Structure 1
Amino acid sequence: MTEIRPVAVDEPDAHGLLQEYFALRASIFPGGTYRTAFPDPATFTEPDGVFVVLYDGEEPVGCGGIRRVPEGPEGVRYEVKHLYVCDAGRGRGWGRMLLTDLERRAAEFGAAEVVLDTHHTLDAAGALYARSGYVEIEPYNDNSNATRWYSHVL
């Protein structure tokens, strides 16, 4: 049975998944220039944010978070960060499950829009976002790890 639980971003399950995610990104990032920065736990504190872990039974298999960012053209805006599903969990719809959960939480916090950034080499992520109704937008931040920016109006 899968379950999504909010956790502090510095709890062991969340931290372990983030370590996996950052290591994977660094290993495949063009030019070996991926910047890793573990998030400040205060960034993901309700109602300005939340971090969740997806469990398969008691095994942590995925994670992601949302955080409030400056308002955009649609109004209140939250950003999806660190959406990750471990290798064994890919192809099971867990990425979409996490994204849907984060969008729901953002809406409950009053978001009119959810945004995210990604890198063009992450084909599966780009496909997930396109299938989920995200559209490409102009950059809203200066993330040097990103080459594409997306928005989804809630």
Structure 2
Amino acid sequence: MAADQIKQVRRFNRTVAERVGVLQDHYLDGTRPYGQARLLWQIGDGETHDVRSVRARLGLDSGYASRLLRALERDGLVTVETHAEDRRVRTVRLTEAGWRERTQLDARSDALAASLLDPLDAKQRDRLLAAMEEVERLLTASTVSLDVLDPDHPDAVHCLRGFTDELGALFGFDPANSLLPDPGELRTPRGLFLVARLHGEPVGAAGLKLPADAPAEVKRLWVSPRARGLGLAKRILTTLEQQAVSHGRDLVRLDTNKALAAAIHLYRTNGYTEIPAFNDEPYAHHWFEKRLPATA
């Protein structure tokens, strides 16, 4: 990564921090700093939240999140309780006073947004908004984590269920009729299962089979609709290719259904060549392979 790229990112960060006022003790001329205000806003969607999910969404460590919550609780803005069914879990919700302050925070946030746009002419506003949308999309993409999990892990199961449900609605996919890999084929040393998480929530996955007597094979690549447009499918595919190389493989294969046009386009534009059928998967219409360089 080039040094001038790092400098540009740092300049951008400083400009945004100064312009939106996060350096002030009292964010948006309110009564509290930005961290407390952001947490208050995140909690205030009308639901009771698991504290762990709030921490994951905001990327906060447990100690800092606890200090922020204690400050809000001390001011009577939130109620933190132990979950009725699991005493290991803490929940948080806004009080009436919290709702009033969140309403004020929304109004002041709207005013700040307007102040960013007001000095600009119509063309400049369009440029700024388009740039903001692009930056938001790319920053969101950069927050996605990829982890190798056991295929029986709840996040892996969630993704496999999403894959099955979506394909079932699209073309009647029934896992009972498919050549589904045995979970053992997606565990070391016979394979692996990769899960993508956004703000701690599973949003995509794929498996990689590593049979001793055949090429590596990508299985069940899926990205949640809410995470599409982030380049995640390509990132998952590339990571699986790198994993295959790290396990000494130089060839990877996969199959797909004709209804999955986006997937077919992904494979073709990332160096996969269509080949004759190498399995009897009843839902497959296309079979692909890719020769992997040693430095994939």
TM-score, length-scaled by structure 1: 0.90
Mark the runs of 5 or more structure 1 residues left unpaired by the alignment: none
Identify the match of residue 102 of structure 1 among 211, 234, 240: 240
C-alpha deviation, 1:39, in angstroms:
4.2
Is residue 173 of structure 2 the alignment partner of residue 57 of structure 1?
no
- What's the counterpart of residue 174 of structure 2? 35
Structure 2 CA distance for aligned equivalents of residues 15 and 24 of structure 1:
14
Q: Deviations over 1:98-128 (max 9, x none)?
A: 0001000011111110000001110000011
Q: Deviations over 1:121-142 (max 9, x none)?
A: 1000001101110010000000
Structure 2 CA distance for aligned equivalents of residues 102 and 36 of structure 1:
23
Structure 1 CA distance for aligned equivalents of residues 289 and 183 of structure 2:
24
- What's the counterpart of residue 8 of structure 1? 150
- What's the counterpart of residue 90 of structure 1? 228
TM-score, length-scaled by structure 2: 0.48
Q: Given residue 288 of structure 2, which amino acid in structure 1 is its aligned partner?
A: Y
Identify the match of residue 168 of structure 2 among 14, 26, 37: 26
Bigger strand fraction: 1
C-alpha deviation, 1:36, in angstroms:
0.6
In the alignment of these two chains, the number of paired residues is 147
Structure 2 CA distance for aligned equivalents of residues 70 and 115 of structure 1:
14
- CA RMSD after TM alignment: 1.4
Which is higher, the Rg of structure 1 or of structure 2? 2
CA contact (8 A) 1:17 1:60 kept: yes
After TM superposition, the structure 1 = structure 2 runs for residues 123-138 of structure 1, keeping only pairs within 5 Å, are 123-138=261-276
Q: Given residue 150 of structure 2, which amino acid in structure 1 is its aligned partner?
A: A
CA contact (8 A) 2:257 2:286 kept: yes
Do the aligned partners of residues 70 and 122 (structure 1) sit closer, same or farther apart at CA in structure 2, a change above 3 Å counting? farther
Secondary structure of 1:145's aligned partner: coil
C-alpha deviation, 1:80, in angstroms:
0.2
Q: Given residue 146 of structure 1, which amino acid in structure 2 is its aligned partner?
A: A
- What's the counterpart of residue 68 of structure 1? 210
- What's the counterpart of residue 115 of structure 1? 253
Q: Given residue 185 of structure 2, which amino acid in structure 1 is its aligned partner?
A: T
Bigger helix fraction: 2
Structure 2 CA distance for aligned equivalents of residues 3 and 136 of structure 1:
30
Q: Given residue 18 of structure 1, which amino acid in structure 2 is its aligned partner?
A: L
Mark the runs of 5 or more structure 2 residues left unpaired by the alignment: 1-142
Structure number with greater CO (CA < 8 Å, separation at least 6) is 1
Same amino acid, percent of matched pairs: 35
Structure 2 CA distance for aligned equivalents of residues 117 and 41 of structure 1:
18
CA contact (8 A) 2:216 2:252 kept: yes
Structure 1 CA distance for aligned equivalents of residues 265 and 259 of structure 2:
11
